[in-house]
Amino acid sequence: MKHHPDRSKFFCGGEIIPDPLKADMRATELIANYEKWGAYNAGKLAEAARVYEAMLDENATIALTVAGAMTPAGLGGLVSAAIDAGFVDVVISTGANIYHDLHFALGYTSRRGSATANDDDLYRVGIERIYDVFITEEMLLNTDAFVREALAKEKGRISSARMHNILGQVALKATPRPERSFVAAAAKHDVPIFTSSPGDSSIGMNVAAMALWSATPDSAVVVDPNLDVLLTTGIVWASEKNGVCIVGGGSPKNFYLQTQPTLWQLLEIDKGGHDFAVQISTDAPHWGGLSGATPNEAVSWGKFKTGDLAKHVVVYSDATIVLPILFSHLLGARPKRPSKRLYTKLDGIYADLRKAALDVKSKAKGGAK
């Protein structure tokens, strides 16, 4: 039997003890057990909880990025709860998640279906399938009408944050079930919602159709991606600490992470990278896909700060399983914090970022002489 003196360097982690589960165990107790066991993705979920708690303790500006079809599966309620508690300061989402969230505000519900249903039959009866979730044509068409009516008076170039705030404000005031919508919750608490691909959703399709029908180009509303890039960059620049909870990956993930390269690579304002990251993903990095790219890899791009990988964690699991446990734990373990109400500050953030960027340019030109 080997008893090498170096053994203690390795065999020194926390003890893994098979404690029995308790009846009616709370999420906070479950996370504590995961932290004690510390194995596999249960251990990573416990790490994720501690990183998220650190973001709250250090009053970081916390972004939530959401990809995949999360709201049709009911996860919008989790986002609403996190917004209400002040645990999310800005959201970056696919347009589809925002659009499908609005169904619930309008009083509709998706239905549990079957992934093995005959799609020809579903098409014939007017049902759309999202894996094992069913929605109807009526839900789509009536949500389309809601989007167009809400945006009918808006003109000119706007950010996606403004567009979603308008939709949220109308949802708050004029829909039967605003409490079911995270878009409405975000409007209530002035949490800006951005989408990284404004044209890639039914909301974008409706905005494009409205432009086609408009009397003149100037009378149409146009979502300006440049504004979104600069406003999200400005939010990060104006915040002392920055963190992110990444649900899935894809375009929303990179849209937030690219704010740091925008600062140092283009505007020559180097913040050194984001401070915290929690990612929930089923995608592994070795496929070369963006969704599976680790925070460690992002360090090489200047997206995350170097030297403190304990603040970056990836849970390789299904977000529909992990996110309810994580957010339930946070709601039970941490007091609410006041909303930063970043939407109301966007104009000032943009102006300050522009001034800072122009000052850097001016100094660079002066030095060149």
Tell me the one-letter amino acid at 335: P
The DSSP result for 183-204, as a single string, is: HHHHHHTT--EEES-TTSSHHH
Q: How far apart are the first and last CA of the chain?
A: 73
Q: Starting at the earlier edge strand, list the strands of the sheet with 90-93.
A: 193-195, 90-93, 61-66, 242-247, 276-281, 312-316
CA distance 262 to 357: 11
Count of CB atoms situated within 10 Å of the CB of 237: 21
What type of residue is 150? A
What contacts 336, CB < 8 A, 6 or more positions away?
84, 85, 86
Secondary structure of residue 222 in the 3-state scheme: strand
91/129 Cα distance (integer angstroms):
26
Name the catalytic one among 44, 188, 253, 303: 303
Pull the structure tokens for residue 143.
């949500």
For residues 132 and 118, give the distance between their C-alpha atoms in angstroms, rounded to a whole number.
Answer: 12
Q: Is 303 a catalytic residue?
A: yes
Q: Annotated catalytic sites, by residue?
A: 303
